[in-house]
Structure 1
Amino acid sequence: MEKQQRQATKTMNFTGIFAVACVLFSSHAGGGFATGNQATQYYVQYGWIATVTAIIAMALLTLTIRECMIMYNSRGLSSYKELFQNLYHPFGKFSVLFDIYFYTMVLCAVGAVIAGAASLLNKTYNISYIYAVLSVGAMLLIMTIFGASLVSKASTVMSVGILASCGVIFILGINEKLPEISNIFAVRASNANIGTGIFKAFTYAGFQSVVIPTMISCGKSLKSSKEISRSMMVSFVINSIALILSIIMLLVWYAEFTQAGETTLPILYIAGQLGRSYVFWAYNICLFLCFISTGVTTIYGFVEKFEKAKALSKINKVIIRRIIVSFFIMFMSMGISMAGLDKIIKYGYGYMGYLGIAIIIVPFLTVGAYKNRKFLKEQNNNINNNNINSKSSFAESADY
C-alpha cells in the first residue's frame, strides 16, 4: 500500500514537473519562433555556431527561471514585483526596471504579432501591408473586447496546430536538403562569427525572460528546488531540440530564402517550396490563428491590469473602460507594427534583450543564485534546530 502511494506521488510530481516545463516551451515556441524570423536573425546568419549558441541561450534562460522560481517559492512571494524587490534588496526600488522592460517587451510582442499577421496576408493574398495592419488591428480590438475568453480557450489547440505543422516542415525541409547538408554547413562554417553569435544567445535569453511572471505563477505547484531543477532540465531539453531543428532547417535553406528576399517569414517560403500544398496551407492557417490568439490574450492581460486604473475610475461601465484601454494599446502596437516584423525583432527585441541581460540574466545568475543558496541554507539550519516556520516547507526538501 505504501509502495503504491509512493509511486502515485512520484507520478503526480512528474506530471507537475512536466506541465511547468511545457508552459515555458509553449511560451517560447509561439508565433515569433514559428515564423523562423527570430532564429534567422539571432542564430542562422552567424553560421554553424548557431547550433551551439542556441543551447547556450536555452541554458541561460532555464537557469535564470530556475533561480526566479526558487526565490519566489522559498520565500512565499505573491507577485513578480516582490520577486525583483527581493533580488535587488536593499535597492528594491530598482524593481521598476523590470516593469519598464516587461511592458515595453509586451508592446513590441503585440506589434510583432500584428506585423507578422499583416506580412502573412501580404505574401499569401497580396493585400497591401498597411491595409493588412489595419485589418488585423481591427480584428484584435474586436476580439479583445468581446471574444477574449473564447480565444483563450482555443489558444491551446492553435498552439498544438502550429507546433505540429512546424515539426512536419522542419523534418521535410531538412530531408529535402539532406544530400547537400554537409556542404552547406561547411560553407556556412567559414562565415561563422563566434563572438557575435554568443552575444546574440545572451540577447535571445534576455528578451525571452519576459515569460518570468507566467513561469513563477505556474511554478508555484513545484514543492522543492529539486522539482524546479528537474522541470527546467526537461524544458531545456525540449526547447533546445525544437530550436536546433528549426536552426538546421533554416541553415540549409538560408542561401535560397535570402536570395529570394523572404527573410521576414522564411518558414512560410520553405513550406511553399516543399511541393505539398496541404502542408503549406495548414501552416499558413495555423500561423495566422496563432498570431491572433497570442495578440488577443496578450492585449487582454494588459486590459485587465489597466482597466482599473485611477484615471478611469470615474467611468462606471466596465466595457467602456475596456474599450478605452484596448484602443490605447492597439494604437501603440499598430504604430510599432508599421516598422515591420524584421525591425521589431532586430531592434525592439534586441534592445529589450540587452536590458534583460543587465537586469535579469546577470543579476539572477550571480546575486540571485547567492541569495537563494544562503536563504535555503539558513532555512535548513532552522529546521535542524526545530525552528520551523510557515515558509520552511519548501526549504526542507531543497537540494540546491
Structure 2
Amino acid sequence: MTNITTAVKGATLSMCFSVGAVLFSSHAGGGFATGNQENVYFISLGWLGPITAIFTMLLFTLTIKEAMNMYNSRHLTSYKQLFQNLYSPVRGIEYLFEAFFYIMVLMAVSATISGAASALAAQTGMAYTTGIGVVGAVIFFLTIFGAGLVRRATTYMGIAILAMAITIFSVGIYMGGQVPGTHFIADALAADFAANGFSKLPTAILHAFTYSGFQCVVIPTMIVVGAPLVTRKNCATSMWFSFVMNAVALTMAVCMLMGWTGIYGKTPLPTLMSLKAMGMPWLTILYTVTLMLCLISTGVTTVFGFTARFSEMDALKKVTKSAVIRSAIVTLFIICLSMTVSMVGLTNIIKYGYGYCGYLAIAIIIVPFLTIGRMKNKRYATDAEYRERIDAMNEYPGMEEAEAAEEM
C-alpha cells in the first residue's frame, strides 16, 4: 500500500504533461512534419479535413488512455499481457497485435529514414546515406538507455516541435491566398462545402479511424513511459494534455496545406514546397530543425517499444548481462532493417503500409479499447470482487482463471 500511495503522489501534473508530450512527439514524426500524412488522409476531404483531424486525435488519445489505465491499474508487465486482458476470454487475438506492431515499427522507422533523406537532400543537398546515418545514430543513442531518457528527451522535443509548428503553420495560413497558386483557407472551405456538402463524410470517418489506428504502434512505448500514471485521473489528465497538443498541431497543418495545394502538387514534401514558395528563408530553416526533431522523436518512441520487447529475451541474456548492450543489439537490428524498407519511398510507405495496418488496428485496437476495454476498466475500478479475481488470474501465464472470470 505504501508503494502505491507513493506512486500516486509522484504522478504530478508535470509528469502527466511529460507523458502526454511523449505521445505528441511520437505522432509528430516524418509523415506529419513533411505534410505527407495530412495530404493523404485529410486534404482530400475538403472542408471536413480540419474537423476530421480533431476527431482523429480524440480517438487516438482516448484509446491510449484506456490502454495505459488497463496496464497500470492491473500492474501488468508486458504489452502481451495487456492485450490478453483486453481480449480475454478469447485466446490468440493478441498475436494479431504482435504482427501489427512488427510491421508498423518497420513502416514508422522507414518513414523516418525516408523523410530525413528526402528533406535533407532537398534543403541542404546532403547525401542520402549521410542523412540516414545522422538520424539513425541519434535514435540509436536515445533509445538504448531506457524509459527515463526517452521520456525526458521526447518531452523537450515535443515542446520545441509544438512551438515551431504553430509558428510555421500560422505564417502559412496567413500567407495563403497572397501567393499565385494559393487560396485563403476560408474561401477553400466554403467552396468545397458548396460543391460537395456531406458526401465525403463516410470517407472522413474511415480516415479518422485508420489514421488513429496506425498511430497506435506507440502503445508498447506509452505503457512503459506512462507507468507513473497509476490512477484513472492521471491517465485522463495526461491524454487531455496530449489531445490539445496533437489536435492543435494537426489541424493547423491541415488548414495551412489546404491553402497551398496548387503549389506543392504531388511532391512527397508538401510542407517544404509550400514554405519555399513563401520566400522566407528563416522559415525554411526553422522548418528543417522542426522536421529533424519530428523524425527523431518518432524514431525514438517507436524503436524504444520494439527494443523494450526484445532486449529481455533469454537468448540475448545469454549473450550479455548488460541491458544497455542488449538494447543496442536490438536497436541496431531494427534500424538497419528499416533502412532497407525505406527504399520504397515515403509516399508509398504512408499510403499503403500505414493504410493497411490502420485498417487492422481499427478491428484489434481502436474499437476493442473504446468499447470492451473501457467497460473492463470501469468495472475493475468499482467492483472489488471482480478486481480480486482479475488480479489473481494475472498471476498465471495460461490465464485460464482469467477467462473463467471474464465469462461471468
Question: Could you say which residue in structure 2 is the equivalent of 1:248?
Answer: 255
Instruction: Give yes or no for contact 1:172–1:274 (8 Å, CA) kept in 2.
Output: no
The residue identity in structure 2 corresponding to 1:346 is K
Match of residue 349, structure 1, among 351, 354, 357: 354
Instruction: Give yes or no for contact 2:116–2:135 (8 Å, CA) kept in 1.
Output: no
Q: What is the CA distance between 1:327 and its match in structure 2?
A: 5.5
Match of residue 272, structure 2, among 239, 244, 268: 268
Q: What is the CA distance between 1:138 and its match in structure 2?
A: 3.8
Is 1:37 the counterpart of 2:36 in the alignment? yes
Is 1:212 the counterpart of 2:216 in the alignment? no
Match of residue 370, structure 2, among 355, 359, 365: 365
1:172-210 residue CA offsets vs partner (Å, 9 max, x unmatched): 011112673332222333256221121000001101112
1:96-144 residue CA offsets vs partner (Å, 9 max, x unmatched): 22111112111111100111011113322456xxx61x33444455556
Instruction: Give yes or no for contact 2:66–2:374 (8 Å, CA) kept in 1.
Output: yes
**Equivalences for 1:223-234 in 2 at 5 Å?**
223-234=230-241
Q: What is the CA distance between 1:330 and its match in structure 2?
A: 3.6
CA distance 1:44–1:311, shift in 2 (3 Å): same
The residue identity in structure 2 corresponding to 1:62 is T
Q: SS of 2:242's equivalent?
A: helix
1:244-296 residue CA offsets vs partner (Å, 9 max, x unmatched): 111111111122221xx43x111111221222211211211332354245436
Gaps of 5+ in 1: 1-8, 384-388, 391-400
CA distance 1:377–1:103, shift in 2 (3 Å): same
Question: Could you say which residue in structure 2 is the equivalent of 1:118?
Answer: 117
Distance 1:147 1:110 in 2: 14
| Structure 1 length-normalised TM | 0.80
Q: What is the CA distance between 1:13 and its match in structure 2?
A: 4.4
Q: Which has the larger radius of gyration?
A: 1
CA distance 1:66–1:49, shift in 2 (3 Å): same
CA distance 1:66–1:380, shift in 2 (3 Å): farther
Instruction: Give yes or no for contact 2:28–2:298 (8 Å, CA) kept in 1.
Output: no
Instruction: Give yes or no for contact 2:42–2:254 (8 Å, CA) kept in 1.
Output: yes
Question: Could you say which residue in structure 2 is the equivalent of 1:395?
Answer: none
Q: What is the CA distance between 1:10 and its match in structure 2?
A: 10
CA distance 1:323–1:361, shift in 2 (3 Å): closer
**Equivalences for 1:93-104 in 2 at 5 Å?**
93-104=92-103
1:279-333 residue CA offsets vs partner (Å, 9 max, x unmatched): 2112113323542454366446645654564566675697997776556434421
| Structure 2 length-normalised TM | 0.78
Is 1:379 the counterpart of 2:374 in the alignment? no
Q: What is the CA distance between 1:47 and its match in structure 2?
A: 0.7
Gaps of 5+ in 2: 1-7, 179-183, 393-408
Question: Could you say which residue in structure 1 is the equivalent of 2:107?
Answer: 108
CA distance 1:46–1:16, shift in 2 (3 Å): same
CA distance 1:291–1:182, shift in 2 (3 Å): closer
The residue identity in structure 2 corresponding to 1:283 is Y
Match of residue 229, structure 2, among 206, 222, 231: 222
Is 1:336 the counterpart of 2:335 in the alignment? no
CA distance 1:173–1:140, shift in 2 (3 Å): closer
Q: SS of 2:279's equivalent?
A: coil
The residue identity in structure 1 corresponding to 2:60 is L
Instruction: Give yes or no for contact 2:221–2:301 (8 Å, CA) kept in 1.
Output: no
CA distance 1:135–1:305, shift in 2 (3 Å): farther
Question: Could you say which residue in structure 2 is the equivalent of 1:184?
Answer: 188
Instruction: Give yes or no for contact 1:170–1:245 (8 Å, CA) kept in 2.
Output: yes
The residue identity in structure 2 corresponding to 1:255 is G
Q: What is the CA distance between 1:43 and its match in structure 2?
A: 0.7
CA distance 1:187–1:149, shift in 2 (3 Å): same
Identity percentage of aligned residues: 45
